[in-house]
Amino acid sequence: MPFDSFPGSSLALSTRMAGLHSSAIRDLLTLTSRPEVVSLAGGLPATEMIPAERISQAATRALQDPRAVQYGETPGWAPLRETVAAWECERIGRRVETDEVVVTHGSQQALSLLAQVLLDPGEAVVVEDPGYTGALQVFRAAQAQLVPVALDENGMDTAALERVLASGLRPKLVHTVSNFHNPRGVVLSAPRRAHLAHLADRYGFWIIEDDPYGELWFGTPAPVPVAAHSDRVIRLSSASKVLAPALRVGWLHGDRRVCEAVELLKQGADLCGSSLTQQIAAELLGDRPWLSGHLDTIRTVYSGRARALLGALEGAFGDRIAQASVHGGMFCWIEFTDGTDTAVLLEAAVGRGVAFVPGSAFALGSGHAHGARLCFATNSAQTLNEAVARLAAAHRALG
Ligand code: PMP
């Protein structure tokens, strides 16, 4: 339901709330939390891949330091900022200073604070279509004018972006999920990364490179980040998909002035992040031998699950769906070629004990009615097979 009024009351909400809708995915997660429903809907890392034992050891160690239970510095626990600076430096291939990093409450908070730092109401923001709903929510709340640019198997169509720029659009920023896109699963190709950065320099806009999935590659690592090509890029990443979402540790890295402005707003948002979970994240992300073994395990398990899901879909639906190969991340995107409306299919599917997110949830307008995002990370291969059998039964029942 849109938040445009309090029925029967003269108390008003801000104009910012007008037209905002609750995320379809959030609503869906509530609906699909029933134990009999296999959910391919959420973007949940596999619980058994979360290193609970290692987190517990790090927590015990951290708690011996009284600073772990106190308020901390707003831009983050200094050793974690240093670890993140080293991590980002390895990825973008140039030196990153600690004061170019702000640790946030998940990378979602980085998105939200950046929208406040960078955007005035009515300014144009280019988003991918289909796009990450969490980003769409944030930019809508900032009262930005959202301009969709399509994606294909090589990520955002930067030639299409160039055409809109040439026709006069002057966006304040462009948001892209460059690696293993949510929801499309695709990777922005190396030439398009360079092209996007070139367009940012030429037309003068910020890029938010939103990259929580980059480490979850299956065969070969993703190309160097867009941030390697331009200093107009603010890179976001997170411990959620590699350690645990519950740590709520994410970060942004980029222009020092932007970091200072984010810090200022973060003071008002939450004073500081959790000192305890930041200390835990600093220990785990800083322990390179352990981390590389841990990431290898996640990559092996997730790639096996992706293969299982794609194989089961192929067996059950054949050419009634188009699906792209998956090279990493947590999601696969399918498109029904037989005209199936996936919002209608979802209702039938939930009735048969399986859930997914219909493509329309990620659309800016009325598009992607035949698309669907399926998360392969959360469930075992056996459960994924069962989920596809249920989905096929729901599809047959629709006739
Ligand atoms: N960006 C993208 C593209 C995501 O998919 C997510 C999580 N679903 C986030 C940001 C936010 O994740 P977190 O706040 O846990 O770091």
C-alpha 133 to ligand 1 mean position (Å): 10
304 lines ligand 1 (CB under 6 A): no
Q: Cα–Cα distance between 288 and 58 in angstroms, integer?
A: 15
Q: Is the peptide bond before 183 cis (omega within 30 degrees of 0)?
A: yes
Residue to mutate, 238, 243, 373, ligand 1, most ligand atoms under 8 Å from C-beta: 238
Q: What is the pLDDT of residue 25?
A: 53
Query: Whole-angstrom Cα distance, residue 103 to residue 263?
Result: 9
Ligand 1 contact via 214 beta carbon (within 6 Å): no
Fill in the amino acid letter for 191: P
Contact 125, 140 (CB under 8 A): no
8 or 86: which carries more pLDDT confidence?
86
Cα(167) to ligand 1 centroid in Å equals 32
The answer, yes or no, to whether residue 62 has pLDDT greater than 80, is yes
User: Which pLDDT band holds residue 16 (cuts at 50, 70, 90)?
Assistant: confident
What is the three-class DSSP state of 369? Answer: coil
* From 23, 132, 176, 274, mutation site for ligand 1 pocket: most ligand atoms within 8 A of C-beta: 132
Give 294's pLDDT tier (boundaries 50, 70, 90). very high
Taking the C-alpha atoms of residue 129 and residue 232, their distance in angstroms, rounded to an integer, is: 22
Question: Separation of 17 CA from ligand 1 center, angstroms?
Answer: 22
**Number of neighbouring beta carbons within 10 Å of residue 36:** 8
What pLDDT was estimated at residue 28? 60
Distance from the alpha carbon of residue 112 to the mean position of ligand 1, in angstroms: 11
pLDDT beyond 80 at 1: no
End-to-end CA distance of the chain: 31
Alpha-carbon distances, residue 340 vs 333, 359, 398 (angstroms) = 15, 11, 9
pLDDT tens track for 212-247: 999 999 999 999 999 999 999 999 999 999 999 999
C-alpha to C-alpha distance for 155 and 130, rounded to whole angstroms: 11
377-133-116-329 Cα dihedral, nearest 10 degrees: 30
Q: Is the pLDDT of residue 373 over 70?
A: yes
User: Given pLDDT bands bounded at 50, 70 and 90, which one contains residue 190?
Assistant: very high
Q: What's the pLDDT band for 3 if we cut at 50, 70, 90?
A: low
Which residues contact residue 275 at a Cβ distance below 8 angstroms, ignoring those fewer than 6 apart?
67, 68, 69, 70, 71, 72, 77
Ligand 1 pocket, 362 CB below 6 A?
A: no
Q: What is the chain's mean pLDDT, rounded?
A: 94
pLDDT of residue 327: 96
Query: Residues 29-42: pLDDT tens digits?
Result: 576 778 899 999 98
The class (CATH top level) of 53-286 is alpha beta
Helices (H) and strands (E) in the chain, counts: 12, 14
Ligand 1 in reach of 132 Cβ (< 6 A) = yes
Tell me the mean pLDDT in the region 329-349: 95
Alpha-helical segments (H) within 167-255: 190-203
Probe target for ligand 1 pocket from 25, 234, 236, 240, with the most ligand atoms within 8 Å of CB:
240
**Residue 134, SS3?**
helix
At residue 249, does pLDDT exceed 80?
yes
What's the order of all strands across the beta sheet hosting 173-176? 101-104, 250-253, 233-238, 206-210, 173-176, 124-129, 145-152, 155-156
- Summarize pLDDT for 128-185 with one digit per residue, the tens: 999 999 999 999 999 999 999 999 999 999 999 999 999 999 999 999 999 999 999 9
Is the N-terminal amide bond of 148 cis, ω within 30° of 0? no
- All residues at 6 or more sequence positions from 175 whose CB lies less than 8 Å from its CB, including other chains: 125, 126, 127, 128, 131, 132, 135, 139, 207, 208, 210
Predicted local confidence at residue 33, as pLDDT: 73
Burial (CB count within 10 angstroms: exposed 0-12, middle 13-18, buried 19+), residue 357: buried
Taking Cα atoms as reference points, which of 264, 270, 224, 238 lies closest to residue 94? 224
**What dotted CATH number matches 16-45+292-397?**
3.90.1150.10
Residue nearest to atom 13 of ligand 1 (CA): 106
pLDDT given at position 80: 98
Amino acid 6: pLDDT: 58
Average pLDDT over residues 246-271: 98
Sign of the four-CA dihedral 242, 243, 247, 253: negative
Average pLDDT over residues 173-199: 98
Lowest mean per-residue pLDDT among 14-23, 151-160, 196-205: 14-23
Q: At what angle do helices 275-286 and 52-62 cross, to 10 degrees?
A: 120
The reported pLDDT for the residue numbered 12 is 84
Which of these ranges, 19-33, 158-172, 285-299, 381-395, has the smallest mean pLDDT? 19-33
For residue range 81-126, list pLDDT tens digits in order: 999 999 999 999 999 999 999 999 999 999 999 999 999 999 999 9
β pairing state of 331-336 and 321-323: antiparallel
Which tokens go with 240? 């959620």
Q: What is the pLDDT of residue 15?
A: 81
**What separation in Å is there between the alpha carbon of 157 and the centre of ligand 1?**
22
Does ligand 1 lie within 6 Å of residue 277's CB atom?
no
> Does 240 sit in the ligand 1 pocket, CB within 6 Å?
yes
Residue written as tokens 């090509």? 229
Q: Could you tell me the residue ranges of all domains in the chain? A: 16-45+292-397, 53-286
